[in-house]
Structures are given as structure tokens and as C-alpha cells.
Amino acid sequence: MSTTTANRAPAAAAPFDVAARRAEFPALHQQVHGKPLVYLDSAATTQKPRAVIDAISRFYERDNANVHRGVHALSERATKAFEGARATVARFLNADPREVVFVRGATEAINLVAQSFGRPRLQAGDEVVVTTLEHHSNIVPWQLLAAATGARVVPAPIDDAGDLELAALERLLGPKVKLLAVTQVSNALGTVTPLEAVIALARARGIPVLVDGAQGAPHLGVDVKALGADFYAFSGHKLYGPTGIGVLWARREHLEAMPPWQGGGDMIRSVSFEKTTFNEVPYKFEAGTPDIAGAVGLAAALDYVAAIGLPAIAAHEAGLLREAEAALLAIPGVRLVGTPRQRAGVLSFLVGDIHPHDLATIVDRQGVAIRAGHHCAQPIMQRFKLAATARASFALYSTPADVEALVRALHAAIKLFS
Ligand code: PLP
């Protein structure tokens, strides 16, 4: 686990009662294919605690109305809940609520930055540096931007362990670079990137930095003031919240300077055919009716995490990852893909020459949900000359029993193929 100051989960942690926490996640307590569910796909999306499900139900049962525009009681309640959610997100990030833009998820947040921040600034010959560790969501928006402006997307390399090559990155940060986009944690390898060092390199050259926190926020959290980046993106559904809601955090001065990227209701101050003026930030970037219940659910998720404490969650997950790594390596024929200096949330692996899709299908029959494929990170697969890996990913509700079930299921798969 990371110990940087930008990442919020330090080493010290309160005691953690995983059985009590698991009891709070209804979806974990079911059978699939006649076997107890072992959910090891939390990097794709986490299960939701009762507190989140109830907060969403309560909103629709009592407070449902549109926000910002009504003077009636329900609209005022909905607005209060929505803006309260923004304040909760701001606390989670250690940010000003005016710097918190609600979006659909990390993907939309990055596209917003590419189109609104990047497009007016980039010209032919400019460069956007990304890393080879990125999810497609932090590559393709920059490629679209590059296609529209004549700029280039330049990948920073990783080594055989799956760690960023910092010296190579530094060499790439030349005068043509207008933005650096880097993930906090790789969803395919679990690599925790050395954000402090990376951001320091960029800042020394005046290069704005976007951090993709989709996998980092759930395991490490973030303090955007300490981070020193310009943009931070994350998705609610990977952090025990609902799908359809996420956050773009951006420095206020950027948001003030950036043009709106979608037009519609709520993002305007006044509209006429002669002249339209825009709302203040962050509303300038929230055109149309937002996902109000989603924001309420996300706030409930962040409150839930805060009540347990990210340090306790991080310590629990780190212990489990170490156990899982050792248990997998003890299985003959298992190879880990990526052995980074710091890992969070994810183990990617191969078992002999069994295709990862076959493996995932077979272990699913044992009730074990893992993922197989390129994990929306094909450049990483290309780096390791692979088409796919199997991936087990962990969350606060994961247990040693889950790891044991995975190991049993892998042994069964090996037997089947031998
Ligand atoms: N970035 C990373 C590292 C991810 O793992 C993901 C999703 O898996 C995303 C971005 C995109 O998140 P979303 O699909 O929620 O927008």
C-alpha cells in the first residue's frame, strides 16, 4: 500500500471486523451455480452496503424531486441532499465543494478535461503524455483530442515488474507536453504509481497533471491539496456507491477558465438568442438533470467508508493481497503478471497455458467471480506480450476464505485441463 502523503491511507489502522462488514453487503450472501458466491471482481465494480441501498431508496421514497429549480418542499430537500453530497465528496477529497463536478464516472471526467481543458489549449505538434499503465479511459479521450488538434499522445514506459520508468518519463516531459495523464493505481496490474514524484516532475516544468483515481480512491483515498495535481477523476461504483455517478475534481482556476462542454439546463445564468451567459462553477459543467439519487448514494458510500476508516480498509486489503499473492504463487504453473513495488486491490495472473477466459468460466462454476481479458488496458497486455490475464480483485469485504476458495477453484481447473 502506498505511504505517500497524497494518498490518504497511512500505515496505522483501527481494528477491522471483516465478518461484520460483510454482513452489511446483501449481494455477497447468495449462491451462484449452487455454491456460495465468492466475489473477486471488485475492481470492475464493488458490491453495495445496505447503507447505500437504503439511502437511495429513502431518497426516492421521500425526497424525490428535481434540484435547484423548485421552491417546493421536496425540491428543496432534494437540492439539500444533492449539495450535501457534494460537500461529502469535498471532505473525502479535502477539496472546496466548488471544485467538485458531478459526472457519470471517471470516464466522463477525463473526457470533460480533454474537451474543455485540452481542446482550446492544444495545437498541432503538442503532446499529451500518458503512461502505459492507463485504462483505455485515460488513453482514448486523449487520442480523440489529438486527432482533433494534431497533437500526439506519447506513452511513458513501464518495466517488467509493471512499475513506471520514472527516468524515461522525465525525459518525455519536454517543452511540447501540454498535459500529463497518469493513473493512481493500475486496474490491470495493481501498480500504485509514485504520484508525488511524478507530479513533482510535471510541476517543475509547468505541465498540468490529471490523475485517474478510479482504482486509487477506493483503496488509498486522496488528499487533493497534498497531491498537487490539477485534475482528479473517480467513479462512485468502484467505491461502494452506485453506477452512473462519479466526480471530477479540478483546481478552481482551471474550472473558471474552462468553457462548458455540454449545454443545457442548469449550466446557464441566462439564455437569449442574442447572448447566453453561464452559471458559476461547478454548475457550468453540470448540464441537465443530474443523477441526484446517485449523488446521494455516493455520499452514503463515502460516509460508510469514513466511518470504518480508509486506513483500516487499506491495512485489511494489504494483508489479504499478501496472502493471496503467496497462495497463488504456491500453485504449480501460476505466474503473476506484474510484480510492482507497491500494489493495491488487484492480482493479475496466468495458470499454465489455460486461457484466462476458460479459467474464469471454470472457477465461476465454483461460485468464484474473477475477471479475464485485457481489462480495458490493452497497451499493458501488449507490453507483456499477452492477449489476456485472469484478475482477482479485492475490497473491504474480501476475506482469507475468499482467497482459499479461489485457490481451490484454480486447483480444480488445473485438474480439469491436465
Ligand atoms: N480508470 C481506471 C483505472 C479504471 O479501472 C476504470 C474502470 O475500470 C476507469 C478508469 C473507468 O471507470 P468508469 O468506467 O467507471 O468510468
- The model's pLDDT over 74-100, given as tens digits with 9 standing for 90+, comes to 999 999 999 999 999 999 999 999 999
Q: Is the dihedral of CA 68, 69, 70, 74 positive or negative?
A: negative
- Rounded CA-CA distance 42/46 in Å is 4
What's 367's DSSP letter? T
At 69 the pLDDT is 80
The pLDDT of residue 12? 53
Q: Whose CA is nearest to atom 5 of ligand 1?
A: 187
Instruction: From 130, 182, 185, 215, give the residue whose CB has the most ligand 1 atoms within 8 Å, as the site to mutate.
Output: 215
The answer to whether residue 94 is catalytic is no
The CATH number given to 3-48+309-417 is 3.90.1150.10
What is the number of the ligand 1 atom nearest to the C-alpha of 186?
3
Q: List strand residue ranges (DSSP E) for 286-403, in order.
A: 334-336, 346-351, 368-369, 371-373, 389-393
pLDDT for the residue numbered 9: 53
How confident is the model over 5-30, as a mean pLDDT?
Answer: 79
What whole-number distance in Å separates Cα of residue 227 and Cα of residue 271? 38
pLDDT of residue 15: 77
How many other C-beta atoms are found inside a 10 Å radius of the C-beta of residue 26? 12
Asked if omega into 282 is within 30° of 0 (cis), the reply is: yes
User: Is the CB of 212 within 6 Å of ligand 1?
Assistant: yes
CB–CB of 46/237 below 8 Å? yes
Instruction: Judge if the beta carbon of residue 187 lies within 6 A of ligand 1.
Output: yes
Instruction: Compute the average pLDDT of residues 136-148.
Output: 98
pLDDT at 14: 59
Which CATH architecture fits 52-306? 3-Layer(aba) Sandwich (3.40)
Confidence bin at 2 (pLDDT 50/70/90): very low
pLDDT average, residue stretch 370-396: 95
Cα separation of 4 and 197, whole Å? 10
* Amino acid identity at 357: H
| Beta-bridge mates of residue 152 | 127
Could you give the angle at the alpha carbon of 264 between the alpha carbons of 84 and 143, nearest 5°?
A: 90
Total count of residues recorded for the chain? 418
- For ligand 1, mutation pick of 103, 104, 107, 211 (most atoms within 8 Å of CB): 107
Mean pLDDT of 353-370: 96
**Does the pLDDT at position 8 exceed 70?**
no
What are the residue ranges spanned by the domains of the chain? 3-48+309-417, 52-306
Q: Which atom of ligand 1 is nearest to the CA of 109?
A: 16
The response to whether residue 106 sits with its C-beta less than 6 Å from ligand 1 reads yes
3-state secondary structure of 115: helix
How does residue 153 score in pLDDT terms, banded at 50, 70 and 90? very high
Question: Percent of the chain scored above 90 by pLDDT?
Answer: 94
* Euclidean distance between CA atoms 191 and 281, whole angstroms: 34
pLDDT tens by residue, 165-202: 999 999 999 999 999 999 999 999 999 999 999 999 99
Q: Which one, of 96, 376, 105, lies nearest residue 233 by Cα?
A: 105
Instruction: Name the residue with the closest Cα to ligand 1, atom 6.
Output: 214
Cβ of 218 less than 6 Å from ligand 1: no
**What would the grid cell of residue 267 be?**
449550466
Residue 356 contacts residue 25 (beta carbons within 8 Å): no
In which band, very low, low, confident or very high, does the pLDDT at 4 lie, cut at 50, 70 and 90? very low
Name, in order, each residue with C-beta under 8 angstroms of 106's C-beta and a sequence gap of 6 or more: 137, 212, 213, 214, 233, 234, 235, 246
310-332, pLDDT tens digit by residue? 999 999 999 999 999 999 999 99
Ligand 1 pocket member 375 (CB < 6 A): no
In a 13 Å sphere around the CA of 232, the CA atoms on its Cβ side amount to: 30
Residue 19 has pLDDT above 90, yes or no: yes
Report residue 72 as a C-alpha cell: 417546493
Amino acid residing at 268: I
Residues 201-253: pLDDT tens digits? Answer: 999 999 999 999 999 999 999 999 999 999 999 999 999 999 999 999 999 99
Angle, helices 400-417 vs 356-364, to 10°: value is 120
Residue 107 CB less than 6 A away from ligand 1? yes
Q: What is the pLDDT of residue 418?
A: 86
Q: What is the average per-residue pLDDT within 107-129?
A: 98
Give the active site residue among 376, 386, 407, 412: 376
H/E stretch holding 154 reads strand 152-156
